[in-house]
Amino acid sequence: MDFDFIIGHLNYWLFIVLMMTGLYIVIAKGNLVKKIVGLNIFQTAVFMFYISIGKVENGTAPIFPMDMNVDPSVAYSNPLPHVLILTAIVVGIATTSLGLALVVRIHEAFGTIEEDDLLKIERDMATREYELHGSAMGGRA
Amino acid sequence: MQTFIDIVLFLMLAATAISIVRTKSLFAIVMLSGVFSLLSALLLVTLDAVDVAFTEAAVGAGISTVLMLGTLALTSRTEKPSSHSNFVPFVVVLITGAALIYGTLDMPNFGDPNAPAHVHVGPDYLERSVEEIDVPNVVTSILASYRGFDTLGETAVVFTAGIAVLLLISGLRRRREDEEADEVDDNEGQS
């Protein structure tokens, strides 16, 4: 593993660090809005990783001169990852808004957006149902 | 120089991400996520993806911040401290990160012009777009013409998400008024 290899891969590793920060927020934090922010960080880091694959050394943005006289000595970066990520950003905002709508709906139904409180409410509901059905069948549930 | 700018921007991104992890105020978290999006747009410009940077700045820093602020207005403002330990998530994240870094060891160097990604269809698009589409911006010509069906599918996804959000949110005020009416009825029945 020489110096060139490390410099050439440093970019990828930095993006992976950002991805893992987002994943950590999703797993470790209980607030549903914060989880969605974490997902957004993860997603943006993946986008930057993907775009960095399309980068060409000494290249420029894939936009030709207006008169369309393309100089063959100019290197252009690969436009295909850019297109895919443009689509992914828009789909990402659609899924984010769906997640936020679910958060609003959960807050309306349970009065909280903390994972711990939601689990406790669900456990209490289950216990009450067991007791109800248990007494209806004349014994313990 | 490129590497230096990359590292400076990355340090700012990492600082933003870590302060998002540590902050409890949800308003601050939403604002920091807007900052994160703007910084990532800057980084995308250095990676030659100007169209993506533009979209990221408009959508990531603009629309998603507005949507999250709307959610905060309808829910709560602060995060409660979590009760369980952070050790297990940390280990999971470390293992996943190590696996991903192991995966990058086989990848070509950053910016390598002979990488597989640059010798397959990418050059074809760059060469033929001049005669076939005649639009200076190759990203536009691929997005709207070569891969137009992708964009159609994206529109379908956005449409579906929009309908789902409307269905989830639409009855909010009506249900709230119903509940208040029920409470008034209950109080009158008791008195």
Residue B190, pLDDT score: 58
pLDDT score, position B128: 85
Q: A139 pLDDT band (50/70/90 cuts)?
A: low
Residue of chain A with shortest Cα separation from B39: A44
The rounded mean pLDDT for chain A is 89
pLDDT one-digit tens code per residue, A83-133 = 999 999 999 999 999 999 999 999 988 888 998 899 999 999 999 988 888
Q: Are A61 and B47 in contact (CB under 8 A)?
A: no
Q: How far is A121 from chain B (nearest CA, A)?
A: 16
- Residue-wise pLDDT for B126-155, tens only, equals 888 888 888 888 888 888 888 889 899 999
Q: In A, which residues are within 8 Å of B40 by CB distance?
A: 44-45, 47-48
What is the domain class of A3-110 according to CATH? mainly alpha
Residue A63's pLDDT band, with cuts at 50, 70 and 90, is confident
Domain boundaries, chain B: 1-79, 148-191
Report the C-alpha gap between B124 and A62 in whole angstroms.
13
Which pLDDT does position A101 carry in this prediction?
Answer: 94
Q: B118 CB near a chain A CB, below 8 Å?
A: yes
DSSP for B76-127 reads -SBPPPPSS-SHHHHHHHHHHHHHHHHHHTTSPPTT-TTSHHHHSSHHHHHH
pLDDT at B152: 92
pLDDT beneath 50, residues of chain B = none
What's the CA gap between A22 and B36, in Å, rounded?
11
pLDDT value of residue B25: 92
